[in-house]
Amino acid sequence: MPDLDAIAARHGVSPDAARHLLDVLARGHGRMAQFNHPDLGGMGQWTAGGMTMIGDMFNSGLKARVVALCEELAPLAAAMPVPGTDRGSGGAWWPEGLGDPATAGSQNDARYAVFPEARRLAIETGGRVTLYDTGDHRIGGVSQQQGASRSLSFTSQHGPVPLDALPVVDGPARDASPAPGAVPPRAPAAPDHQAAAPTGDVLATIERLSELHRKGVLTEAEFAAKKTELLARL
């Protein structure tokens, strides 16, 4: 066990803050941390090689200390077992077949786990687990939107990833290529320009054509042919 008292003193935070950060770093396999501690500026997140955010957003000195503390604790956390991932003890709440998450955590009454290799994101709220397809998003951070919804929002190489932008799926993995013998989905049919038109539109067009015929713009044959075509659409 690392000497957290010495590490905390070196970075100017309490041992409790260092212990909290080590725990959340272990959940993120030493690559990210979603933390909430007053000594760390309140709620915030750190990602290895990426962006760091703290609740006290204008305190650049504290932010630098948090970054330095995360960088020192990250290698130690990476070697630790991820808390709550022993399926035998009931700790792993996500569906089988996903493997170990790259990162996992919780916000209020919601828990999340990210599985980059399977392209899956598992969210548990109210005892119900929902599985999302992350597509080509490499999720590296999570934040909680404030307000009435207090919903989770994730970040990837493409920027913010709202949860409702990800498709919900049932299985733990989905092959991007079609199965042998599978029939590809039929492309949407091209619009049929000869489809039935509203009666009012057809009659109005015939009236205009009749006026053109009366003025001599259309011949009798032209008017009759066009009239027949329009009536066939009814």
**String of DSSP letters for 20-50:** HHHHHHHHTTTSEEEEEEGGGTEEEEEETTS
**pLDDT for the residue numbered 8:** 92
93 plus 113 within the same structural domain: yes
Report yes or no: 169 and 198 within 8 Å, Cβ to Cβ.
no
110 plus 71 within the same structural domain: no
**pLDDT for the residue numbered 48:** 87
In a domain, 105, yes or no: yes
121 plus 162 within the same structural domain: yes
**pLDDT for the residue numbered 228:** 81
Q: Which of 59, 78, 97 is the last residue before a domain boundary?
A: 78
Total domains in the fold of the chain: 3
pTM (whole model) above 0.85: no
In a domain, 142, yes or no: yes
37 plus 97 within the same structural domain: no
Which tokens is 107 given?
Answer: 């916000």
Contacts (Cβ under 8 Å, ≥6 apart) of 72: 7, 10, 11
pLDDT per position as a tens digit, 35-75? 888 899 888 889 888 888 888 888 999 999 999 999 999 99
Q: Tell me how far apart the alpha carbons of residues 25 and 18 are, in angstroms, rounded to a whole number.
A: 10
In a domain, 189, yes or no: no
**pLDDT for the residue numbered 63:** 93
Please, what is the angle between helix 60-78 and helix 15-27, to 10°?
60
Kindly report the average pLDDT of the chain as a whole number.
Answer: 76
**Residue 52 sits in which domain range?**
4-78
217 plus 143 within the same structural domain: no
In a domain, 190, yes or no: no
**pLDDT for the residue numbered 212:** 81
**pLDDT for the residue numbered 199:** 60
φ, ψ (nearest 5 deg) of residue 168: -85, 135
Which of the residues in the chain have pLDDT under 70? Answer: 1, 81-91, 106-109, 140-151, 171-200, 234
In a domain, 176, yes or no: no
**pLDDT for the residue numbered 146:** 45
**pLDDT for the residue numbered 73:** 94
**pLDDT for the residue numbered 12:** 93
**pLDDT for the residue numbered 141:** 60
34 plus 71 within the same structural domain: yes
100 plus 61 within the same structural domain: no
